[in-house]
Amino acid sequence: NDTVFTFGGNAPHSNARQKDKTVTGGKGANLAEMASIGLPVPPGFTIVTEECLKYLAGGSDFSEKLRADVADALRHVEETVGKGFGNAADPLLVSVRSGAAISMPGMMDTVLNLGLNDETVEGLARTSGDERFAWDSYRRFIQMYGDVVLGVDHGLFEEALEIAKEDNGYYADTELSADEWKTLVAQYKSIVEEELGSPFPQDPIEQLWGAISAVFDSWDTERAKVYRRLNDIPHDMGTAVNVQAMVFGNMGDTSATGVAFTRDPSTGEKAYYGEWLVNAQGEDVVAGIRTPQYLTRARREAAGADKPSMEEAMPEAFAELSHLFDLLERHYTDMQDIEFTVQQGKLWLLQTRNGKRTAKAALKMAVDMVDEGLIDEKTAILRVDPMALDQLLHPTLDPDAPRDVLTTGLPASPGAASGKIVLDADTAELWANRGEKVILVRVETSPEDIHGMHAATGILTARGGMTSHAAVVARGMGRPCVSGASQVSIAREGRTLSIGDRELSEGDIITIDGANGQVMAGEVATIEPELAGDFGTLMEWADKHRRMRVRTNAETETECRMARQFGAEGIGLCRTEHMFFDAGRISAVREMILADTEKGRRAALDKLLPEQRSDFVTIFEVMAGLPCTIRLLDPPLHEFLPHGDTEFEELAEATGVPIEKLRRRAGELHEFNPMLGHRGCRLGITYPEIYEMQARAIFEAACQVARDSGDAPVPEIMIPLVATRRELELLKAVVDRVATDVFADTGTTLEYLVGTMIELPRAALMAGEIAEVGEFFSFGTNDLTQTTLGVSRDDAGRFLTTYVDKGIFARDPFVSLDVDGVGQLVELAVERGRATREGLKLGICGEHGGDPASIAFCDRTGLDYVSASPYRVPIARLAAAQASL
């Protein structure tokens, strides 16, 4: 198998393997494809991802075959460009860049201008006729290579540059002369030598392999691992390496570099969007060192900026570029994110990929592209990441609420967020873990800040443009972000900051609006999201194409209403115990639990009956005839016990039972392993009167609603934590008896079902027998995961991230169903259950019902519906449609 593929010049047209992103990475595959269709791409070659994995597994060494193949490929580049790598008279320079199958912006390493040394820099100066450019490139190379490959702190180089600028009274890097760059190069080289004890490597071949190692190693850095974990990217893919002839955007005023999107990645609007810089190299744009200029005139004018747009300053190159934008968008039938360089008037494309986008933009582009005839409805459904919808479903700032605007930066990632100011990523994580909402405020962000950005509800930076690290990462994560707010000035030591003339401290609350770049003092009121428009259109298409139904896990009136707005088609799980915590009832609940006789329990239950009945009346009214699965009491009883002296005193007063007796009874109820203790249907078996009361409340409410409104509810009564047929049989008899009584008393008869949850391995194994009694199954995959893995769902947090990092689980099994293990039990129960009872109604109500990968599994397995929390209902609708396609 090839270890290296070439592209550009007379390289062979790319074959299936070279086009495969898992082999050559996204960047490599697209570079080859662009070169094949005749676009201006500098020639180069790609080392395949397998070599990365071999290198990492094999003690950081390269095979002889790889060395030989790279040498051949390098010759291809030399011949195409007509320059020699390491040739002092006319040197070829290359860039070395990572490129995984799934893009990880800013996460891995890049080295530019490789091939320069004390001799080739002179050659570059002569052939380019521009000494200044040659030395600027050399210092850039030492700085990047020093940082990325040799591990020298980049701050040391930046400091030297700052001092040089200060000494000369310069503001911008571009003001330094050739001689001043030469002096700086000498300083940079001594910095390297001092730090490493050996001189900066002069041999271009050694430089090349050093850079390749660094790219491979960057796959395994902590920040890359964190990024993959947050984005569900497997750790075993590896990265490709792209080595490509350099073209220079820093050859004077007819040269430039930039990044562009073919549509607006924030809003989805069909308008070119991007930034560029004259006389610069790529990293200048992204790193936020110089503030970039707008690409189009319209944008520049809208922003009131005075530096010319590319459209105005380089009309010819811009015209060609826009032609290529359209061509690439049609070719890939998706919005493209493009890097380009203009070298002395000639345009080059360095990269294209499907651009990252906000949920709002994804939605708009998908719907627009169907209208434009670029894609069909099914493709549109597949284009939107269901999880990203979450961003659209949450409140935005109320336009009428008062705003105390401190400053306005760039609207880098939409959405609004309020929270406490934190000044570094670790603090952000710490405070967020305490349950606080925080806004991470930084001069600019770097990949080391990822964990803090994830923990924060919003991000604010003082520097950097719309394509800066902060902006790109925030958009990807769905965090609101305001970047380039230049009035923000941070004093790290005092942990304070000033915005204009206002002084603030870490911990003060601010609000940011990523839609218009505003930064406000305090918290600003919010309004509910807009569910019509593009969202409505896409959801309509999704509903047309999905097989499974989508229900919700809900028990309050608000949740039920919200879920219906989001399109829920019924309730898949109403956890009745949640209703027991209401202030007015908890003491009756405690009285029931602590009673030591059936009589005592019944007295307390009589108090609860009317309350429960009214809960169910509300739910049935809101759900208006849609199916409602109501689960009888499930949790370990100790969850309801009084804690602390005050609660015991209150209870003693309310019930008239002496406090000592209450304490003793509470002690008796103590369990060592409550999750596997006296809970679920075991409560119903030992205290049938509890389930009796609940069944009565359900039926009385259903009869009342059937009489009062036309929409007769169909209650589906669900028994939790069943392990045996007999448990279900005994409890179904209780429910049926109550139903008969209530129907006789009220004179109203209703359809209803009695079914069970499958939450224990034994229940899954014995599903055939259990289906003789149970009229439906709902997979309680939270408990089924807990009991199958033997991992406590409440304690797993302490070690599961390590498990995911070490590749033991691809994802947290409580978030995304362990299809290989727990999934087998689900499949088995489906098969055995339906063998007994044809057409047995099947659903899932664990958290997995809102997880797209688990939803795809449910679709394959033939479940009838999934049930998810209200905000996840749209996610589930879209994921169910994607699963059907």
**Residue 70 or 554: which CB sits closer to ligand PEP?**
554
13-32 in b/e form (b: 16+ CB < 10 A) is: ebeeebbbbbbbbbbbbbbb
Which pair of structure tokens corresponds to residue 441? 């405020």
Cβ burial, residue 762 (10 Å; 0-12/13-18/19+): middle
Altogether, the residues listed in the chain come to a count of 885
Which residues are at the interface with Mg ion (CB under 5 A)? 759, 780, 783
Closest approach of ligand PEP to the CB of residue 759, in Å:
5
Run of H or E residues at 822:
helix 822-836
| Type of residue found at 499 | I
The least distance separating ligand PEP from the CB of residue 547, rounded to whole angstroms, comes to 22
CB of 588 to Mg ion, least distance (A): 24
297 binds, among ligand PEP, Mg ion, none (CB under 5 to 8 A by kind): none
Asked if 450 contacts 470 with a C-beta cutoff of 8 angstroms, the reply is no
Residue 408 DSSP code: E
Minimum distance from CB of 720 to ligand PEP (Å)?
7
d(C-alpha 160, C-alpha 421), whole Å? 32
The item of Mg ion, ligand PEP, none sharing an interface with residue 846, based on CB under 5 to 8 Å by kind, is ligand PEP
- Contact, 467 vs 486, CB < 8 A? no
Q: Does 573 bind ligand PEP (CB under 6 A)?
A: yes
Work out how close the CB of 578 gets to ligand PEP at its nearest, in angstroms, rounded to a whole number.
9
Contact partner at residue 573 from ligand PEP, Mg ion, none, CB < 5 to 8 Å by partner kind: ligand PEP
Residue 437 or 575 with smaller CB distance to ligand PEP: 575
Least distance CB 848 / Mg ion (angstroms): 12
Q: Could you identify the residue written with the tokens 């911008």?
A: 172
Tell whether residue 823 is a contact of ligand PEP (CB under 6 A): no
111 binds ligand PEP (CB under 6 A): no
The answer to the question of residue 663 lying near ligand PEP (CB under 6 A) is no
Q: Name the residue nearer to ligand PEP (CB basis): 480 or 780.
A: 780
For residues 502 and 489, is the Cβ–Cβ distance under 8 A?
Answer: no
Pairing of strands 715-719, 865-868: unpaired
Report whether 612 contacts 693 (CB < 8 A).
yes
* Subset of residues 615 to 644 that bind ligand PEP, contact rule: CB under 6 A: 634
In eight-state DSSP terms, residue 386 is: G
Q: How far is the CB of 577 from Mg ion (least distance, A)?
A: 11
With CB under 5 to 8 Å by kind, the binding choice for 415 among ligand PEP, Mg ion, none is none
| End-to-end C-alpha distance for the chain, whole angstroms | 34
Question: Residue 783 or 851: which CB sits closer to ligand PEP?
Answer: 783
CA distance 89 to 78: 13
Of the candidates 513, 716, 783, 818, which one interacts with ligand PEP according to CB under 6 A? 783
Q: How far is the CB of 792 from ligand PEP (least distance, A)?
A: 12
Q: Which stretch binds ligand PEP (CB under 6 A): 66-74, 279-287, 309-317, 774-782?
A: 774-782
Coil/strand/helix, residue 45:
strand
Residue 575 binds which one of ligand PEP, Mg ion, none, with CB within 5 to 8 A depending on kind? ligand PEP
281 or 576: CB nearest ligand PEP: 576
Taken in order 94, 97, 99, 105, is the CA torsion positive or negative?
negative
Residue 174 interacts with ligand PEP (CB under 6 A): yes or no = no
Residue 675: which residues within 8 A CB-CB, separation 6 or more? 636, 786, 792, 793, 794
- What is the distance of C-alpha 775 from the center of its chain? 38
Nearest distance in Å: CB 673, ligand PEP: 15
- As measured in angstroms, the least distance from the Cβ of 680 to ligand PEP is 8
Chain residues 849-878 in contact with ligand PEP, contact rule CB under 6 A: none
Residue (386 or 843) nearer to ligand PEP, CB: 843
Under the binding rule (CB under 6 A), the answer on residue 762 touching ligand PEP is no
**Burial of residue 828, with CB atoms counted within 10 A of its CB: 0-12 exposed, 13-18 middle, 19 or more buried:** middle
Catalytic center residues: 469, 845
d(CA 411, CA 360): 14
For residue 488, which amino acid is it? Answer: V
Q: What is the largest CA-CA distance in the chain?
A: 103
Which residues make Cβ contacts (< 8 Å) with residue 671, sequence separation at least 6? Answer: 636, 638, 677, 678
218 or 869: CB nearest ligand PEP: 869
Are 176 and 152 in contact, with CB atoms under 8 Å apart?
no
Confirm or reject binding of residue 818 to ligand PEP (CB under 6 A).
Answer: no
Verify binding: residue 104, ligand PEP, rule CB under 6 A: no
781 binds, among Mg ion, ligand PEP, none (CB under 5 to 8 A by kind): ligand PEP
In whole angstroms, what is the distance from residue 17 CA to residue 31 CA? Answer: 14
d(CA 404, CA 353): 40
* Binds ligand PEP (CB under 6 A): choice among 845, 866, 873, 881: 845
Q: Residue 655 is encoded by which pair of tokens?
A: 């019930």
Q: How many CB atoms lie within 10 A of CB 159?
A: 12
Could you give the strand order of the β-sheet that contains 293-294, starting from the edge strand earlier in sequence?
A: 293-294, 273-278, 256-261, 336-343, 346-354
Name which position in 780, 843, 852, 874 contacts ligand PEP (CB under 6 A).
780
748 binds ligand PEP (CB under 6 A): no
Residue selected from 748, 782, 836, 861 as contacting ligand PEP according to rule CB under 6 A? 782
Q: Which stretch binds ligand PEP (CB under 6 A): 141-149, 595-603, 776-784, 794-802?
A: 776-784
202 vs 556, beta carbon nearer ligand PEP: 556
- Binding status of residue 789 toward ligand PEP by CB under 6 A: no
Q: Which two tokens stand for residue 233?
A: 């990217």
Work out whether 559 is an interface residue with ligand PEP (CB under 6 A).
no
Q: Does 575 bind ligand PEP (CB under 6 A)?
A: yes
The tokens describing 561, both together, are 């209403």
Cβ proximity to Mg ion, 317 vs 770, nearer residue = 770
Q: Quick check: helix, strand or coil at residue 260? A: strand
Taking the complex as a whole, how short is the minimal distance between the CB of residue 359 and ligand PEP, in angstroms? Answer: 27
User: Interacting stretch for ligand PEP, rule CB under 6 A, among 87-95, 290-298, 477-485, 780-788?
Assistant: 780-788
Provide, rounded to whole angstroms, the least separation between the CB of residue 764 and ligand PEP. 13
Q: In this complex, which beta carbon is closest to ligand PEP, that of residue 15 or of residue 824?
A: 824
Q: Return the closest-CA partner of residue 50 out of 105, 102, 4.
A: 4
Cα-based angle 477, 482, 486 (whole degrees, multiple of 5): 145
32 or 722, CB closer to ligand PEP? 722
Residue 678 binds ligand PEP (CB under 6 A): no
Q: What does residue 586 show for φ and ψ, rounded to 5 degrees?
A: -60, -30
| CA 387 from centre of chain | 7
- Per CB under 6 A, 578 contacts ligand PEP: no
Using CB under 6 A as the binding rule, whether residue 517 contacts ligand PEP is answered as: no
Helices 557-565 and 598-623, packing angle to 10 deg: 30
Stretch that binds ligand PEP, among 90-98, 665-673, 732-740, 777-785 (CB under 6 A): 777-785
* The two three-digit tokens of residue 138, written as one number: 């050399």
Using CB under 6 A as the binding criterion, the count of chain residues that bind ligand PEP stands at: 10
Instruction: In whole angstroms, give the CA distance from residue 387 to residue 384.
Output: 9
**Residue 845 near which of ligand PEP, Mg ion, none (CB within 5-8 Å, type-dependent):** ligand PEP
Q: Which is nearer to ligand PEP, 106 or 780 (CB)?
A: 780
Q: Which does 115 bind (CB under 5 to 8 A by kind): ligand PEP, Mg ion, none?
A: none
List interacting residues with ligand PEP (CB under 6 A).
573, 575, 634, 759, 780-783, 845-846
